[in-house]
């Protein structure tokens, strides 16, 4: 897929209208990086406005073997050019869903305590595709409280580990007890469950995966608990599954796409 196409879709997802200050964040990252040991994880300060890496930790070369300066100079478009072709479209879809969810479901005052995780495959310096799990925490926002600058942690898995992992996306909120609550989870690898499942039923399934009761789902979706229960029965019938527990177990195990 051409990088120009990816750039346009990505910038459309993250479009914002504020010029943030990065100096303080980068200074802190440089100070931290000097003390971190080499490992299978590296971090970057990402700028979704400029499509750039404002800072890249020393572990990047150890993890991927890529040239540090080349990655910083060429930015995100160079990084995308190394992404597995089969993962790009799915990854863009995941990014779009995460942003839509954040702007529609997460109150502005909570967004600075959100954390997002997704995965994909990247070609390392040896030409081998390795699995990368990326976790990004927003550092700065535009005037509409849309994330602009992020601290991204990349965990690179060995090439022998399940080369085609399901691509999933997760959004978590750090609550008052400093415990992360999962607010969103989706498996994007094979599209949505079934052409026969309605959008409302998909909403209910995603909330069931997060262990919400019928009453809680009804409140979130502004419908009655009886309507939720009717949808739950219809979902099980359409998918020929005996129980909600069986459905959730299959989804979490990646045996069925959400």
Residue 222 in domain:
yes
Domain region containing 143: 3-187
Domain-located, residue 194: no
CATH number of domain containing 246: 1.10.10.10
Q: CB of 237 within 8 A of CB of 192? A: no
Question: Residue 163: what pLDDT?
Answer: 54
Residue 93 within a domain: yes
Residue-wise pLDDT for 20-51, tens only, equals 677 777 787 788 788 878 888 999 999 988 89
Q: Is 37 exposed, middle or buried (0-12, 13-18, 19+ CB in 10 A)?
A: exposed
Supply the pTM of this predicted model. Answer: 0.71
Distance CA 249, CA 256 (A): 9
| The pLDDT of residue 192 | 47
What percent of the chain has a predicted confidence (pLDDT) above 70?
A: 88
d(CA 18, CA 144): 9
Tally the domains of the chain: 2
Check whether residue 8 and residue 136 sit in a common domain: yes
Question: What local confidence, expressed as pLDDT, does residue 116 receive?
Answer: 97
> What does the pLDDT read at residue 1?
59
């Amino acid at each position: 897929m051409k990088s120009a196409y990816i750039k346009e879709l990505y910038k459309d997802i993250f479009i914002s209208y504020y010029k943030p200050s990065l100096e303080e964040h980068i200074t802190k990252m440089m100070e931290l990086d000097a003390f971190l040991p080499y490992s299978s994880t590296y971090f970057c300060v990402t700028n979704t406005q400029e499509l750039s890496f404002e800072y890249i930790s020393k572990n990047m070369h150890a993890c991927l073997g890529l040239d540090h300066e080349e990655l910083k100079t060429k930015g995100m478009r160079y990084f995308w050019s190394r992404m597995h072709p089969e993962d790009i479209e799915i990854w863009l879809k995941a990014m779009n869903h995460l942003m839509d969810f954040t702007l529609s479901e997460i109150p502005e005052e909570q967004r600075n305590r959100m954390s997002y995780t997704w995965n994909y495959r990247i070609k390392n310096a040896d030409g081998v595709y390795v699995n990368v799990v990326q976790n990004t925490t927003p550092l700065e926002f535009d005037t509409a409280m849309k994330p602009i600058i992020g601290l991204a942690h990349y965990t690179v898995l060995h090439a022998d580990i399940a080369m085609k992992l399901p691509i999933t996306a997760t959004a978590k909120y750090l609550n008052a007890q400093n415990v992360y609550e999962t607010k969103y989870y989706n498996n994007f690898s094979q599209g949505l469950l079934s052409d026969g499942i309605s959008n409302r039923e998909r909403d209910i399934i995603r909330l069931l995966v997060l262990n919400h009761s019928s009453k809680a789902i009804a409140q979130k979706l502004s419908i009655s608990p009886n309507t939720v229960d009717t949808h739950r029965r219809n979902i099980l019938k359409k998918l020929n599954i005996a129980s909600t527990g069986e459905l959730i177990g299959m989804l979490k195990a990646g045996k069925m796409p959400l």
